[in-house]
Amino acid sequence: MKKLAVPLFATLAAASIAASVYLVFYVAPLQYAVNEAGKLNGSSLFFNQKIFYFHVAHAFWLFAAVGVSGIASLVFLRTRDPRWDDVASASTDVAVAFGAVVLVTGSVWAKAAWDVWWNWEPRLTMSLLLWLVLVGYVLVRRFAGPSADRIAAGMSIFGMVGVPFIYKMVGEDSHPASGGDGVVATLGPGMRGAFWLSVVGFLCWYLALVISRVQSTRAEREVHELRERALDLGVLS
């Protein structure tokens, strides 16, 4: 069953994302608004609004990935079980990629909606800080030596603590065309199916990547342990 997990989730991800792309570009309506005179106003995004379906879906699983990493790091620090460290490391690796997508698509969206690529407001600044913490985690794991796992675990927990603050800031400063009052649960019928299918697709993609990364990390550890035993027995020199 473990061997089938990665291809299963990868297949589900491919099918869900392909279906969501079709719904997003061929079924979901364009976003536009009219004023009292019946003319289009400046908040109309038209085709640019389509990025919402991928930007927000990635943001969902970015936050979830950071949470998984933080919780796994807490358990690792308490038990020193390397299996939890494997999960934390794998989830953070995926979170770095998802975070990069969130930042890039968010900048594209901001340019379309507000004619500015970046604004150093608290929400964006905190999002960038979270991503830099995740990148720092990856660098620490590569170059910090024997204590890398414990230092990285502390960074992961720090990143997890920041997620609720970013989520709250997003709720207070909603993106355009993300549903009434910025709540995705209030999306219109033509948008809701495409959005949630995209969310499911990227969830399956996240699971496929994390499971694959954990399996490869544990395989590398087993090879390293076998090599150490062979050296001790004099089989290798």
Degrees to nearest 5, angle at CA 83 with 81 and 89:
115
The number of beta carbons lying within 10 Å of the beta carbon of residue 11 is 13
Q: How far apart are CA 64 and CA 45, in angstroms?
A: 28
Helix (H, G, I), strand (E, B) or coil at 70: helix
Tokens of 224: 């390293």
Using DSSP's 3-state secondary structure scheme, residue 177 falls into: coil
- Tell me the angle at which helices 82-114 and 148-172 cross, rounded to the nearest 10 degrees: 30
- Signed CA dihedral, 167, 168, 171, 174: sign only: negative
Instruction: Determine the Cα–Cα distance for residues 65 and 88; give it in Å rounded to an integer.
Output: 9
What 3-state DSSP class applies to 31? strand
| Per-residue model confidence as pLDDT tens for the chain (237 residues) | 567 889 999 999 999 999 999 988 888 777 655 445 444 454 556 667 788 889 989 999 999 999 999 999 999 999 989 899 999 999 999 999 999 999 999 888 888 777 788 888 788 888 899 999 999 999 998 887 778 889 999 999 999 988 888 877 665 555 544 444 455 656 677 788 888 999 999 999 999 999 999 998 888 877 877 777 776 666 665
Residue 77 and residue 122 in contact, taking contact as beta carbons nearer than 8 Å: no
Predicted model pTM = 0.84
> Buried b / exposed e across 36-58, counting CB within 10 Å, b at 16+?
eeeeeeeebbeebbbbbbbbbbb
Q: Which two tokens stand for residue 54?
A: 């991928």
* Three-state secondary-structure class, residue 198: helix
| Residue 148 confidence (pLDDT) | 84
Q: Tell the residue number behind the tokens 């995705």, with chain if given.
A: 184
**pLDDT at residue number 40:** 44
CB 236 within 8 A of CB 94: no
